[in-house]
A and B are shown apart, each in its own frame.
Chain A
Amino acid sequence: MNLAIDVIQALLLVAIAPLVSGVIARAKARMQNRRGASLWRPYADLLKLFRKQDLVPDTACGLFRLTPAILFAVTVTAAAFVPVLHPSAIFGMSGDFILLVYLLAIGRFFLMLGAMDGGSSFGGIGASREALVSALAEAPLLLALISVAILSHAVSLSGMVLCTVQQYPFHLSAVYVFALGALVLVAIAETGRIPVDNPSTHLELTMIHEAMMLEYSGPSLALIEWASAIKLTLIMALLIGVFVPWGMATSASITALAIAPFVFVLKLTALAIAVAVIESSIAKLRMYLVPDFLGMASALAILAVAFTALMR
């Protein structure tokens, strides 16, 4: 029973990911006084891309084609870490947050390499900027999760979620606020949203993630697009699970399990709209201000860790 829910929730994350992108795009369109495309448009895009030919640059070698497969496989595996419907997941107990963070790094590393295999300068631009962002984002991400791990006396994501869900919202330690602040900033950087990166840009001055996948086409591009949507969704699910997990099925009763998916989708929609609001109201940062942005995240994360020790 438990394993079935684990598998279902991992599949749910994978399946729902394009919809999240759709919701964000629609909400942004509404804020710009446009009607916007259908919510299901990302699925149609993926289907279209999967039917197309895979074009490979003549400079590229096997690694270029391997990269989307690695990225997708690693991201889906990472999705199996996050508790969504109940405080458990396939790798929720045995795998800890350190493993999750480093798993996501695999995909990033190979995406950088794939970008540089194209032999054009765009790939290099994207990879170099991604290297800057990911180098500085890893420390605050890990530190913020560490402070949560210390507060909940657990290193597994299941343990962290279980600790939060069993408390009343106002009984939570105040340190969670610092950790949440740091994690939100890092999540923006990690998933390549405004103000760090602009997912809808096609200007070389501003591209990071888009520049890295410029040479990809057809099914490979579909895999990369889908993987980045999954990554966005799983980081949102992680934020929901660690900071506002209430509504999850803590018991095995049918009603609790029936309610949980609706509550989760509701929370996810709210987060997606929040992302759209941020993206519509803030300008993208200059490239060399990104380290300051991540420095702020690091400062919050360091405070979170220090306060967990001071407030024992």
Chain B
Amino acid sequence: MIVAGFCFWRGDGLALDLSRLTPFPFALTVDRLSAFFLLLICAVGAPVALFSSSYVERHYSGAKADSMWLLLPLFLLSMVLVVTASTAFAFLFGWELMTLLSAGLILIDGDSERRRHNIFIYLLMMHAGAAAVIASFLLFLPHASSLDFTSMRAAAASMPAGLRTAIFLLSFVGFGTKAGIVPFHLWLPKAHPIAPSPVSALMSGVMLKTAIYGFVRFTFDFLGGGPIWWGYLVLLAGAVTGLLGILYALTEHDLKLLLAYSSVENIGIIYLGLGAALVFMANNAWAWAMVALVAALLHALNHALFKSLLFLGAGAVSDAAHTLDIELLGGLLKRMRVTGTAFLVGCCSIIGLPLFNGFVGEWMMLRSFVAGSELPAISCAIILPLMAGVLALIGGIAVACFAKVFGIAFLGRPRSLAAEQATEVAASMQVAMTLLAASCVMIGIMPGMMVSPLTVVARELLHTPTLPNAALSISHTLPLIAACVGVLMIVVAGFRRIKRVTPTWACGLPALDSRMQYSSAAFSKPLRKTFSRVYEADRTVDVLYANQPYFPKSILYRSVRTTSFERSLYRPAVDAIVNMATRLRKLQTGNMQVYLLYIFLALIALLIFMRFA
């Protein structure tokens, strides 16, 4: 962490060449981009480790605790390796290790049929993504002398356009799978919720960011931007991912599943920033490209902080109330003050309220979208400002989503006995969450301390002198606004001292109970109805009547949301692969002579190939 901070602020490069120790070229370099992501990993890793200390103590014993303590630091190290690697081999080594270790960490909590299925999908998609990443590395080979990052960067400049596009598309798909952009997000809501909470915090907070790192490294550092449609493609991916992510999150009642979908949304927001940066670069508007890039990177850091905070909060809730179904929670803020307050800070940050960190990145992004109107190309001048509308819509639905989460889970009456008996979690967990919450507020009020070093990172990538002044104004305004709001609140608080506690108004009935409260499903109903085309819910209502038609004996209501991607994109693909595999199976006769024939034929084919090649 010290190394990261040092490099990030001082900007000195740091290189470590281990090639002599390994059979493959294996070198680590910390430049400013790496240092930033290193800082991100450490800033989240330290509180998560603190949180895990008591989490592991409470949940695991013996071999499980040992394997948790073995795998967790290794998982962190593998991510450090990914962001510091400076050769393709080291990068891919870390990349694969990261996937496998996280799968191992998920398996600690048991391996039921459903979990195995989810992990299988996770690993399958990760390897498909990794294949695309490996392919994009290999495409450098004809032009680069070796696969270390310096020669790759040099080679990219002299490549033909078609090859550059191929590399861009492959890295877009490869890293997009890891980041969870729609339609490659399928694994994310399957894998994240079933992991232990500290691991979910790391997976959502940090592991997704390594994919952002990879994409930025490839597209901005190696390729140095490209034609304008690259930017449009990334913008489109960001807009679709953000909107669908938050719409799916809105309907979930499982706290961790909801947070996983909201990670999809935030990745979408980061991609919106990256896309805007690419569009500006294609138009040679370097200053604003820098703003958009800084905004995207800042949002990556912010998301790492508040999402790990929220996942740790979910861990604390499941510890205290033994459930993550928010329909069974309620009234937790009264019973768990520290956890509740930290979770509230996380909610305020994630929906981008001013004075919390989520706002700063979104503000810079919106500013760059508005500045897009000054680009010469008409299409850019229309599309970029409209993206601000998309971002605002995402933000508006996020407000609804997190008002639901906090309002249902933490406020009002407890909806179950377990929630009523919940007590505050261990001190070290509280400290971990408080640390993260404090950093969210600090960046929210004084964004300058993150924005100016990030400017240096962006300068190294874009080779542009500096940020436009307009994009920095926020760092002077926010402290003033904070002071203004603070003073007004103190003044106003003086007005009301007398307070009397009374029962809630129950329309004259004897008493309210928790079943009369609004439920999570009811809360999201208006928005679900508005966006019903997105959800395509399969609803069945079975009503059993006793005698009269007006007094049903029982009503069974079932509503299943099938994600249309699963149905229309993945199902045919899986079917096709299975179909092909069945056909290929005919080759496997089990007869030794036939296999010898195959070897012989292959040999002849190779000889013929060598003769003519």
Q: Tell me the nearest residue of chain B to A76, going by C-beta.
A: B488
Chain B residues with CB under 8 Å of A215's CB are 504-505
Binding stretch for chain B, among A18-26, A114-122, A261-269: A114-122
Which of A63, A101, A146, A288 meets B385, CB within 8 Å?
A146
Chain A residues with CB under 8 Å of B505's CB are 57, 120, 214-215
For the complex, is B553 an interface residue (Cβ under 8 Å from A)? no
For the complex, is B470 an interface residue (Cβ under 8 Å from A)? yes
User: Quick check: B393 and A138 within 8 Å, CB to CB?
Assistant: yes
For the complex, is B512 an interface residue (Cβ under 8 Å from A)? yes
Binding stretch for chain A, among B22-30, B300-308, B349-357: B349-357
Binary per-residue interface labels of chain B (287-328) against chain A in the complex, 1 for a CB within 8 Å, 0 otherwise: 000000000000000000000000000000000000000000
For the complex, is B480 an interface residue (Cβ under 8 Å from A)? yes
Q: Tell me the nearest residue of chain B to A112, going by C-beta.
A: B403
User: Quick check: B331 and A131 within 8 Å, CB to CB?
Assistant: no
User: Quick check: A65 and B499 within 8 Å, CB to CB?
Assistant: yes
User: Quick check: A127 and B492 within 8 Å, CB to CB?
Assistant: no
Q: Tell me the nearest residue of chain A to B516, going by C-beta.
A: A121
User: Quick check: B400 and A135 within 8 Å, CB to CB?
Assistant: yes
For the complex, is A56 an interface residue (Cβ under 8 Å from B)? yes
B328: shortest Cβ distance to chain A, in Å?
15
How far apart sit A68 and B499, CA to CA, in the bound complex (Å)? Answer: 14
Chain A residues with CB under 8 Å of B496's CB are 54, 65, 218-220
Q: Tell me the nearest residue of chain A to B496, going by C-beta.
A: A219
Chain B residues with CB under 8 Å of A53's CB are 498-500
How far apart sit A291 and B528, CA to CA, in the bound complex (Å)? Answer: 12
A110: shortest Cβ distance to chain B, in Å?
9
For the complex, is B593 an interface residue (Cβ under 8 Å from A)? no
Chain B residues with CB under 8 Å of A113's CB are 403, 406-407, 411
How many A-B Cβ pairs are below 8 Å? 255
Which of B354, B388, B407, B530 meets A127, CB within 8 Å?
B407
For the complex, is A165 an interface residue (Cβ under 8 Å from B)? no
For the complex, is B476 an interface residue (Cβ under 8 Å from A)? yes
Binary per-residue interface labels of chain B (467-509) against chain A in the complex, 1 for a CB within 8 Å, 0 otherwise: 0001001101100110011101100110110111111111000
For the complex, is A275 an interface residue (Cβ under 8 Å from B)? no
Name the residue among A55, A62, A99, A309 with the largest chain B CB count within 10 angstroms: A309
Q: A98-B366, A99-B363, A121-B516 are in contact. Are A131 and B354 (CB under 8 A)?
A: no
Which of A61, A96, A140, A147 meets B333, CB within 8 Å?
A61
Binding stretch for chain B, among A27-35, A235-243, A247-255, A298-306: A298-306
For the complex, is A70 an interface residue (Cβ under 8 Å from B)? yes
For the complex, is B412 an interface residue (Cβ under 8 Å from A)? yes
Q: A58-B503, A136-B530 are in contact. Are A128 and B522 (CB under 8 A)?
A: yes
For the complex, is B108 an interface residue (Cβ under 8 Å from A)? no
User: Quick check: B504 and A57 within 8 Å, CB to CB?
Assistant: yes
For the complex, is A256 an interface residue (Cβ under 8 Å from B)? no
B475: shortest Cβ distance to chain A, in Å?
10
How far apart sit A132 and B529, CA to CA, in the bound complex (Å)? Answer: 10
Chain B residues with CB under 8 Å of A106's CB are 348, 353-355
Task: Please provide the chain A residues from 26 to 56 with a CB less than 8 Å away from any CB of chain B in the complex.
Answer: 50, 53-56
Chain B residues with CB under 8 Å of A127's CB are 403, 407, 518, 523
Chain B residues with CB under 8 Å of A142's CB are 366, 388-389, 392
User: Quick check: A56 and B412 within 8 Å, CB to CB?
Assistant: no
User: Quick check: B512 and A108 within 8 Å, CB to CB?
Assistant: no
A309: shortest Cβ distance to chain B, in Å?
4
- Identify whether the interface residues of A are mostly helix, strand, loop, or mixed: helix
For the complex, is A183 an interface residue (Cβ under 8 Å from B)? no
B484: shortest Cβ distance to chain A, in Å?
5
Task: Please provide the chain A residues from 56 to 114 with a CB less than 8 Å away from any CB of chain B in the complex.
Answer: 56-63, 65, 68-70, 72-74, 76-77, 80, 91, 94-96, 98-99, 101-103, 105-106, 108-109, 112-113
Q: Tell me the nearest residue of chain A to B406, going by C-beta.
A: A113
A-B contact pairs, 27 of them (CB 8 A): A55-B501, A58-B503, A72-B488, A73-B489, A74-B485, A76-B488, A95-B481, A105-B351, A109-B403, A112-B403, A113-B403, A117-B411, A118-B412, A124-B522, A127-B403, A128-B518, A131-B399, A132-B400, A132-B527, A141-B392, A146-B389, A149-B370, A150-B385, A288-B529, A305-B385, A308-B381, A312-B381
B-side residues, CB < 8 A to A, are: 331, 333-334, 344, 348, 351-355, 359, 363, 366-367, 369-370, 373, 378, 381-382, 385-386, 388-390, 392-393, 395-397, 399-400, 402-404, 406-408, 411-413, 470, 473-474, 476-477, 480-481, 484-486, 488-489, 492-493, 495-496, 498-506, 512, 514, 516-519, 522-527, 529-530
A55-B501, A137-B396, A309-B382 given. 14 additional CB < 8 A pairs? A73-B492, A98-B363, A99-B363, A109-B351, A118-B412, A119-B512, A124-B518, A132-B527, A136-B396, A139-B392, A139-B393, A143-B389, A147-B385, A218-B496
